[in-house]
Amino acid sequence: MNISLESTAGASMSYEHGESHAEKVLSNRDVYVGDFDGLLPHGMGRYTWLNGTIYDGQWEKNKITGRGKILWPSGAAYEGEISGGFLHGSGSLFAVDGSIYKGSWMMSRQHGKGIKTYSNLDEYDGFWREGLQEGFGTYKWSNGNTYSGNWKAGKMSGKGVMKWANGDLFDGDWLDGLENGSGYYKYADGSLYVGIWSRGLKDGHGTFFPTGSRTPYQPYSESIVCGNKVQSLGPASFFSNEGPVSKMVSKRSKVNRWSMIGCLRNTKRISHRASSLDGIWNVNDTCVSSSSENTSHTLCSTDESQLELLDDRILVYDREYMQGVLITERMRYCDFGRPQRAKWHCKMSKQPKRPGETIYGGHRSYYLMLNLQLGIRYTVGKITPVPMREVRSSDFGPRARIRMYFPSRGSQFTPPHNSVGFFWKDYCPMVFRNLREMFKIDAADYMMSVCGGDGLKELSSPGKSGSIFYLSQDERFLIKTLRKYELKILLKMLPNYYGHVGAYDNTLITKFFGLHRLTIKGRKVRFVVMGNMFRTELRIHRRYDLKGSSHGRSTSKHNNNENTTLKDLDLSYVFNLEKSWRESLFRQISLDCKFLESQSIIDYSMLLGLHFRAPEHLKAYSKSQNLLEHSANSADDNSDIQLRDEVKTPLKGLRLVAHEPSSVSSLPGSHIRGSTLRASAADNKEVDLLLPGTGRLRVQLGVNMPAEANWKPLHNKGLDAAEFNPVEVYDVVLYFGIIDILQEYNMTKKFEHCCKSLKHDPLSISAVAPKMYSRRFVEFLEKVFPD
């Protein structure tokens, strides 16, 4: 709660000099009764505002400072320390909704240690930062659920333990209020799943221990003795920051007297029991975890005799999940009885690596990042208080700028900092301020995202431009270094760009939010801040940069992963969209390409992201032929070969429902401005995408668009269809946009080459080339999205 008290500086008091205590009526009709020091209220006093607000407490030289009580007309009340008219220090707030906060304050926001009891009888006891839970804290819901662990920006983030009223428990990593990372889930019946989670869903390999199994973990809040140390066997003992810890316990436990043995032998059998998709859980719901509802019984119920094989071997199940969907399951046996030293092989994949390398102290880009953040914080803070207005012609161009020098010792206008002094230039601040407003990006959120304490992440360049990319920690914004000619192109096209994105809400063109230049010791570095189109609710399994060309348009197959940007020759799918969506798509592509033609822009790309709802083909089908050949020639019963019949293809999970703004889950990003798409299957109404186990997502042009992916090589080079035997259709969710739009034709090496080889007038080639490029670009996309 942000609370401030009205200043009394503008009101005059009529009283005789030297009076130390009096009741005075101010010129604005407020009333003060209390002590004075000369002409100023000082000591104890009671101030009553005309609107009924009352402060009774200590004053210091006309400022409300010290301990006191505040009563608001709404019924809210505060008792505690105040400084300069702000709630500052320790104090208690009794809000009008019945909630009570007791703890530390800073500038009228909860900050530090505090306890808050909510009107619904929920309670949080822990640390706060600027009004939000941050640090370690315990939240108890009125329905009996409890979370103890780390918080960030008001959400569960970091290590933590969630215990539900029904007895279920999750101990592991959290991000933005969802399980995200390594951890274990213990069901009320005693069964246990150890694995990886991604945004609240099981994602990757893990191991399930049925009810009655002896497991390599101790119950919640218990510990074991390893040597002379007491060690928790929570998730921190299961996993390191880099992934699963291969050697979990090096010595026998003095409590249980067993060691972790090499186990989980492959039985080459798959359980054919019925299985259900993991549901969505909500910590505020009474039922809480639909994933726990009979899940352990349904998926892995087993005979007690099977659990007591040879007294030392227990039955466990290796599982693989993809975004909450169970893909494969394999039965194995664990041996905890043999007194030999070996590793416990829990077949779990690492958590999907997030893109980028965090910039830390000592990193080559550390001081560059500090200067960039300081400059953005300064200029955004300077332009935000200026009243909103329509942009003028004088707001565009290289002369519309803010220039400032930031000495390391600080100045009258700039704060001191720990880097070398630098010059800062902010181009067209009013234009980019309006663009951020246009895309509903709050100035405080923008500064927190780009300039927050967590720093930026540096990405390797996916192209040949040599640019360096930085990613904000919340992945909402990309920062790209520019060459001088690229900056000139952007400034030149900015007036028309501003008009284009203002006229077309659904434009697919890159969203720009800031343009800056740093000068450090004579070296100039230019930056542009853009929206990250892959800040999505769903995990991106494949990403492509498509230009409609085959020349040099393939990537090396070495070390490819989900963060690898593939190219035209790597694409082997076409995508079927609803007819009206396809029409809307190409209508917008045509408008965007005409705009780029008018600016003589070429060499742009369609950046395409794919989320496979049933993505078992990523491994299983690409290896199916080799697996069958190996299985036919191998007689080893303990091999880890996964047979074709072990692959389970789940039911299609895409469903469109009528749009409900209050029900959709939406990450803050740069796409929220576009309109919601309509579907013929819903009587031409606006629709949301409902995904079992994930959520309800708003469908927009280029965002959360469901489609069918058909396997079809678009280029024949190096592809032999006889080598593949894939499932024909996959359910996918698409994300796409047009990027790399800062390349003018007359800035490319191709321009000079074409003029010399064709002996044409440069002006005529410059006029024709952008049209030729856009035509080829659209023709290729028509193949990717066939009618």
Contacts of 584 (CB under 8 A, 6+ apart): 506, 677, 701
Lowest mean pLDDT among 11-15, 271-275, 439-443: 271-275
**DSSP H stretches of helix in 421-534:** 429-438, 443-451, 484-503
Partnered with residue 338 across adjacent β-strands are: none
Report how far residue 11's alpha carbon sits from residue 236's, in angstroms, rounded to the nearest whole number: 60
If you average pLDDT over residues 499-528, what whole number do you get?
93
If you average pLDDT over residues 547-565, what whole number do you get?
78
The residue to which tokens 């019949």 are assigned = 645
Confidence of residue 780 (pLDDT cuts 50, 70, 90): very high
pLDDT at 575: 92
> Angle, to 10 degrees, between the axis of helix 749-758 and the axis of helix 762-784?
110
Is pLDDT of 255 > 70?
no
Report how far residue 277's alpha carbon sits from residue 268's, in angstroms, rounded to the nearest whole number: 23
| Other CB atoms within 10 A of residue 257 CB | 8
* Residue with the larger pLDDT of the pair 241 and 177: 177
Best CA proximity match to 246, nearest among 348, 150, 169, 381? 348
Structure tokens at 149: 């662990």
Question: With pLDDT > 70 as the criterion, what percentage of the chain qualifies?
Answer: 70
pLDDT at 309: 39
Lowest mean pLDDT among 65-79, 132-146, 472-486, 678-692: 678-692
Confidence of residue 667 (pLDDT cuts 50, 70, 90): low
If you average pLDDT over residues 114-132, what whole number do you get?
93
* Residue with the larger pLDDT of the pair 174 and 463: 174
Report how far residue 346's alpha carbon sits from residue 349's, in angstroms, rounded to the nearest whole number: 9
Contact criterion met (CB below 8 Å) for 402 and 425: yes
Is pLDDT of 618 > 50?
no
Q: Is the pTM of this model over 0.75?
A: no
Lowest mean pLDDT among 436-450, 481-495, 550-564: 550-564
Is pLDDT of 723 > 80?
no
Contact criterion met (CB below 8 Å) for 731 and 654: yes
Residue count of the chain, please give it.
787
The residue to which tokens 């192209």 are assigned = 463
The residue to which tokens 């670009």 are assigned = 777
pLDDT at 569: 87
Is pLDDT of 263 > 60?
no
Going by DSSP bridges, is the β-strand pair 512-520/265-266 parallel, antiparallel, or unpaired? unpaired
| Other CB atoms within 10 A of residue 323 CB | 25
Q: What is the pLDDT of residues 558-577, one digit of tens each?
A: 667 778 888 888 888 899 99
Say how many Å lie between the first and final Cα of the chain, rounded.
54
If you average pLDDT over residues 192-219, what whole number do you get?
79
pLDDT at 641: 32
Question: Quick one: CA torsion of 370, 376, 377, 378, rounded to 10 degrees?
Answer: 110
pLDDT at 229: 36
Report how far residue 489's alpha carbon sits from residue 496's, in angstroms, rounded to the nearest whole number: 12
pLDDT at 743: 81
Report how far residue 156's alpha carbon sits from residue 172's, in angstroms, rounded to the nearest whole number: 11
pLDDT at 556: 75
Is pLDDT of 251 > 50?
no
**Residues 243, 246, 251, 252, CA torsion sign:** positive
Report how far residue 120's alpha carbon sits from residue 359's, in angstroms, rounded to the nearest whole number: 42
Report how far residue 629's alpha carbon sits from residue 644's, in angstroms, rounded to the nearest whole number: 11
Cα–Cα separations (whole angstroms), residue 712 to 721, 729, 783 = 9, 10, 10
Q: What is the pLDDT of residues 269-304, one digit of tens each?
A: 323 333 333 332 333 333 333 333 333 333 333 344
> Angle, to 10 degrees, between the axis of helix 443-451 and the axis of helix 366-383?
170
Confidence of residue 461 (pLDDT cuts 50, 70, 90): low
Lowest mean pLDDT among 323-332, 339-348, 517-526, 672-681: 339-348
Rounded mean pLDDT of the chain? Answer: 75
Confidence of residue 631 (pLDDT cuts 50, 70, 90): very low
pLDDT at 346: 42
Structure tokens at 5: 């008290």
Confidence of residue 198 (pLDDT cuts 50, 70, 90): confident
pLDDT at 682: 81
Q: Which among 38-52, 215-229, 362-376, 495-509 has the top mean pLDDT? A: 495-509
Cα–Cα separations (whole angstroms), residue 620 to 63, 370, 563, 641, 643 = 71, 45, 20, 11, 9
DSSP 314-332: EEEEEEEEETTEEEEEEEE
- Phi and psi at residue 150, to the nearest 5°: -85, 150
If you average pLDDT over residues 456-484, what whole number do you get?
83
Q: What is the pLDDT of residues 294-347, one digit of tens each?
A: 333 333 333 443 334 344 567 888 888 877 777 778 887 766 555 444 444 444
Contact criterion met (CB below 8 Å) for 544 and 607: yes
Contacts of 327 (CB under 8 A, 6+ apart): 320, 321, 616, 620, 647, 648, 650
Best CA proximity match to 497, nearest among 481, 518, 513? 513
